[in-house]
């Protein structure tokens, strides 16, 4: 019992340390900061509730009501830990789908105070599983499944290259809690939860340093790191928003930020499955594709959808799939410009790394071709 008390003390202290660290960090903010803060507090509360329940087990009957209350609080809050993880990954828009199930589960736990369906306090003030205790397992397993789905979605949306580490952290948490579910005498669940969220916090902090906060794409630091390992036949696509200063001056910076987000969504939606997408400057974006990612075949229908006169300035022949992606991007921007008054045009250029070319040379060629296409576009508009 002393060993278990030490585990709870260490768990609480670890979460207090994390709360202090979170309070002094200026890297993460908004929903993410709020999510971590609530989660650290939840772990403290549920760990203390479990400890109180263990300490009250077998005590005089006068403590039966407090015993039942602390167990109801503990069991009600446990699945919420997983939901808060989802909240950190995807915000309220994603976490809200689990809220009805969490509320129903919490209500059932509270009702058990009177009906003893999920748990009850037996004679001698002994905590005992009720006939419907399986509902607690179902709530926990459902929260885990929801979490793994959101990890996959988050990894895809934010191009997380080490998403396997995130999965391992979730598995670590799942195993730690499972030990206690399988054998109640093994009480390492909240220590496992504390360690898992400390690892998750470290993971997210590293990710935050690689991401552009406005668009959700990877930032220039990540781009330069990727460009340093560029190899022959890998392709760099450069994008530049046309006359972006005018957007900010005429429509305001809020509209300017929305325009950047829309451009980023277009880039991610069209190029994201075949390359890594970056925001590398105020109004500049880039995509880096490995050898083969810009060379796979496209369907006859996709090929037929590209007008014969569609052409970008370039020194290299475009592959069918790259030509199709470029056309789809231009079309999507054109459609947005019909509905968004502030939406600017976007110019792009691409270049495939040659045998004796440096990464900087390849990026410079793609950049030069992007500006050539920008001049061609403006000349075409001026000629109308």
Residue with the two structure tokens 């360690």: 195
Q: Which of 210, 239, 274 is the last residue of a domain?
A: 210
One pLDDT digit (tens) per residue for the chain, 384 residues: 678 999 999 999 999 999 999 998 888 878 889 999 999 999 999 999 999 999 999 999 999 999 999 999 999 998 888 889 899 988 888 899 988 988 998 999 889 888 888 999 999 999 998 998 888 888 888 888 888 888 888 887 778 777 788 889 888 988 888 887 788 788 888 999 999 999 999 988 888 888 898 898 999 999 999 999 898 889 999 999 998 999 999 999 999 999 999 999 999 999 988 889 999 999 999 999 887 766 666 677 777 777 766 666 555 566 778 888 888 999 999 999 999 999 999 999 989 888 788 899 999 999 999 998 888 877 877 665
Please count the other Cβ atoms lying within 10 Å of the Cβ belonging to residue 371: 14
Q: Which of 210, 232, 248 is the last residue of a domain?
A: 210
CB 344 within 8 A of CB 244: yes
Please indicate, yes or no, whether residues 184 and 276 belong to a single structural domain of this protein: no
Question: What Å distances lie between residue 369 and 63, 308, 316, 372, 382, CA to CA?
Answer: 77, 20, 10, 5, 20
pLDDT at 308: 67
Please indicate, yes or no, whether residues 182 and 315 belong to a single structural domain of this protein: no
DSSP string, 131-183: TTTHHHHHHHHHHHHHHHHHHHHHHHHTT-TTHHHHHHHHHHHHHHHHHHHH-
CATH of the domain at 240: 3.30.70.270
Please indicate, yes or no, whether residues 149 and 7 belong to a single structural domain of this protein: yes
Please indicate, yes or no, whether residues 163 and 240 belong to a single structural domain of this protein: no
Please indicate, yes or no, if residue 192 is contained in any of the structural domains.
yes
Please indicate, yes or no, whether residues 100 and 201 belong to a single structural domain of this protein: yes
CATH of the domain at 112: 1.20.1070
Please indicate, yes or no, whether residues 53 and 90 belong to a single structural domain of this protein: yes
Please indicate, yes or no, if residue 215 is contained in any of the structural domains.
no
Please indicate, yes or no, whether residues 153 and 59 belong to a single structural domain of this protein: yes
**Domain interval for residue 369:** 220-383
Please indicate, yes or no, whether residues 204 and 254 belong to a single structural domain of this protein: no
pLDDT at 316: 58
Number of domains the chain contains: 2
Please indicate, yes or no, whether residues 60 and 176 belong to a single structural domain of this protein: yes
Is 298 exposed, middle or buried (CB count within 10 Å of its CB: 0-12, 13-18, 19+)? middle
Please indicate, yes or no, whether residues 120 and 248 belong to a single structural domain of this protein: no
| Alpha helices in 158-291, H assignment, sequence order | 163-182, 189-210, 220-227, 244-251, 253-271
Please indicate, yes or no, whether residues 15 and 87 belong to a single structural domain of this protein: yes
């Amino acid at each position: 019992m002393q060993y278990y008390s030490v585990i709870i003390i260490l768990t609480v202290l670890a979460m207090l340390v994390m709360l202090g660290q979170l309070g002094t960090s200026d890297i993460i903010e908004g929903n993410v900061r709020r999510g971590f803060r609530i989660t650290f507090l939840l772990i403290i509360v549920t760990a203390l509730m479990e400890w109180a329940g263990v300490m009250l087990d077998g005590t005089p009957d006068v403590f039966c009501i407090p015993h039942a209350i602390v167990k109801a609080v503990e069991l009600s809050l446990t699945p919420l830990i997983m939901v808060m993880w989802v909240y950190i990954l995807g915000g309220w828009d994603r976490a809200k789908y689990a809220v009805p199930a969490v509320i129903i589960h919490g209500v059932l736990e509270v009702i058990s105070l009177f009906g003893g369906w999920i748990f009850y306090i037996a004679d001698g003030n002994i905590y005992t599983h009720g006939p419907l205790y399986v509902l607690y397992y179902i709530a926990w397993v459902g929260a885990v499944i929801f979490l793994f789905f959101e990890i996959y979605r988050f990894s895809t949306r934010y191009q997380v290259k080490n998403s396997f580490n995130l999965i391992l952290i979730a598995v670590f948490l799942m195993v730690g809690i499972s030990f206690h579910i399988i054998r109640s005498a093994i009480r390492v669940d909240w220590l496992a939860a504390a360690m898992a969220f400390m690892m998750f916090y470290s993971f997210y902090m590293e990710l935050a340093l690689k991401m552009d906060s406005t668009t959700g794409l990877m930032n220039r630091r990540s781009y330069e790191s990727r460009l340093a390992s560029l190899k022959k036949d890998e392709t760099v696509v450069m994008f530049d928003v046309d006359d972006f200063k005018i957007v900010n001056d005429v429509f305001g910076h809020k509209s300017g930020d929305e325009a950047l987000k829309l451009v980023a969504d277009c880039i991610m939606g069209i190029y994201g499955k075949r390359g890594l997408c970056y925001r590398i400057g105020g109004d500049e974006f880039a995509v880096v594709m490995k050898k083969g990612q810009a060379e796979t075949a496209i369907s006859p229908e996709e090929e037929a959808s590209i007008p014969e006169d569609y052409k970008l300035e370039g020194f290299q022949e475009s592959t069918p799939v790259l030509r199709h992606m470029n056309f789809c991007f231009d079309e999507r921007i054109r459609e947005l410009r019909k509905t968004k008054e502030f939406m600017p045009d976007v110019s792009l250029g691409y270049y495939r790394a040659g045998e004796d070319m440096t990464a900087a040379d390849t990026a410079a060629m793609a950049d030069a071709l992007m500006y050539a296409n920008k001049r061609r576009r403006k000349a075409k508009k001026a000629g109308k």
